[in-house]
Chains A and B, each alone.
Chain A
């Protein structure tokens, strides 16, 4: 049975109707993980016993006609920087190779309360810093469309797992594009909610003014269902927005006389396959009755510079807690406390994390703070203003998710070049806006491309609605990687 190609609601319906047991669903996905994870390195840890135990308890609940949650019987993967109580949270780092979470993240708790089944933890760039998963201390994940290529990053384990149908949904986290770019590289849907829409309690902080948890799924409708569960206020996160969850069904409302913004000048320089797929996407929206308006986002060409100042400044502060005193791997050869801290950090962190700590420390240091950090904060204000002006003219803004399809593992060696990958995803992060990547086409080499929709703050359902109608209007191609379609 092809349980692994079903939508979340179909999977839940099958379980609720009694056609398939939760145990069968769980075994199906566990066996796919067993078969394919060796080639993909998508999951860092898998919990077969707990998952099957939870599944059996759900089967019992169903037999007893007890009420079942919105995600009943749905298996889920969790990025390994999000806590699951009692399980390792490595963050893809050697430093936390022995760290077991002492509580559940709010998102973990919420999906479990709605009867989802946690299958395991997925790979990521160390502390979510990277765009390829090559910065994971546990090896890179592979792209299911071509295992010599990157699945993107930092949520590349989650994107590879969902694309290869090892689980129908996985959590990612997005600071500058870490949900959306891997979703684009792997031909799946990746949604970054409005900043503050989803609780950050229980995620290991990277850039606190930017971090946001969101789902990687097969479709916008599946993402909307997950958002209905996790998009709610949380008393453990002071930046959590005080609005109730929105029902997924809201995204079914048809698009009527909708206006979509396209920042044409910002898009100049796209390579031909990406350009072609983008124009095709515009035609699809046109057929749905949408109109287009040119919006001015030229300022966003500076987004990477702003981001790498602010995100690294916040990271250098957040990662100061990793000192080897209270948790993590401690350097044993040190003779003093000071030396122990320096050595533990030096041995525990990989090169990219060290580089970002240093950059962040530099831009915050005396004599440079005004020139870099304050300046970047001001340009960020300007960018937020630019988006507001743009949204006076349109409901959502369209760009590609990434300038190129998935690159080869090892292809990008220069850190700055790797940063430049994120030109289209970072602006929405800086402005705290909801944004989604959905598959829009396949290159002649057989690699998926992503379309990126950005909405105004708290218009998460609008972004999902446009994405949903686009996906409904799309008749081809199939976005299941050929090697992973069959059982």
Chain B
């Protein structure tokens, strides 16, 4: 039994349960088994450690509770192991896709200033403002 590209063994290795995987349709030689042959290497891409994770929370501009930290490090590692299956697909000489609209030369219009958004309307959504400007806590602190 497996689910979309992961054998039971692989599911277990990343602690993924498959409680409602469809029954009886996972014979050998099918799509899922063929992906197993592509394989997922747990060794070559080590899961994120605590130090990586700390760096990541900073880059993401999030301050997390201890409970969230434990939850996210586990689920992110699981996902990272899963997405690592891509590394076995040969892509030498293949250009990276940045837009699906190949024929489209981005249709840029004239850059003409318009009356798009008034200051008053903009300020209605700002959490704090003063003198027509957005107010934020102290940026520079006195030593």
Contacts and interface: CB of A to CB of B under 8 A. Distances in A.
Contacts of B62: 342, 345-346, 349, 354, 357-358
B130 interface: no
A267 B22 CA distance: 13
Contact of A298 (B19, B20, B34, B108): B34
Interface residues of B, number: 72
A306 B84 CA distance: 10
Interface in B101-132: 101, 104, 106-109, 116-117, 121-122, 124-128
B96 interface: yes
A378 B20 contact: no
A302 B26 contact: no
Interface in B47-102: 48, 56-57, 59-64, 68, 71-72, 75-76, 78-80, 82-87, 89, 91, 94-101
Contacts of B45: 371
B136 A340 contact: yes
A394 interface: no
Contacts of B3: 417, 420
Given A268-B25, A301-B5, A379-B91, A326 B126 contact: yes
A17 interface: no
A324 interface: yes
Interface string A352-368: 00110111011001000
Specify the main secondary structure of chain B where it touches its partner.
Answer: loop
Contacts of B19: 411
Given A271-B23, A305-B85, A381-B94, A351 B68 contact: yes
B100 A431 contact: yes
B139 interface: yes
A266 interface: yes
Nearest to A421: B4
Nearest to A415: B75
A466 interface: no
B16 A346 contact: no
A242 B95 CA distance: 25
Contacts of A299: 89
Interface in A448-473: 457
A195 B134 contact: no
Contact of B136 (A269, A337, A374, A403): A337
B94 A354 contact: no
A302 B25 contact: no
Given A102-B117, A326-B126, A377-B97, A336 B107 contact: no
A330 B128 contact: yes
A342 B34 CA distance: 44
B46 interface: no
Contact of A375 (B60, B91, B121): B91
30 contacts: A98-B125, A99-B125, A102-B124, A103-B116, A271-B25, A272-B24, A305-B84, A325-B136, A327-B127, A335-B137, A336-B137, A336-B141, A337-B139, A339-B137, A343-B63, A351-B72, A355-B76, A358-B60, A361-B56, A361-B60, A362-B80, A365-B56, A365-B59, A380-B96, A382-B89, A382-B91, A403-B4, A411-B19, A417-B17, A420-B3
Nearest 9 A/B pairs, CB to CB: A432-B100, A377-B96, A271-B22, A330-B127, A378-B91, A268-B30, A327-B125, A305-B83, A380-B97
Interface of B: 3-5, 16-20, 22-26, 30-32, 34-35, 45, 48, 56-57, 59-64, 68, 71-72, 75-76, 78-80, 82-87, 89, 91, 94-101, 104, 106-109, 116-117, 121-122, 124-128, 134, 136-139, 141
Given A102-B121, A305-B83, A305-B84, 10 more contacts: A103-B116, A271-B23, A301-B35, A329-B127, A342-B61, A343-B63, A377-B96, A379-B91, A432-B100, A457-B100
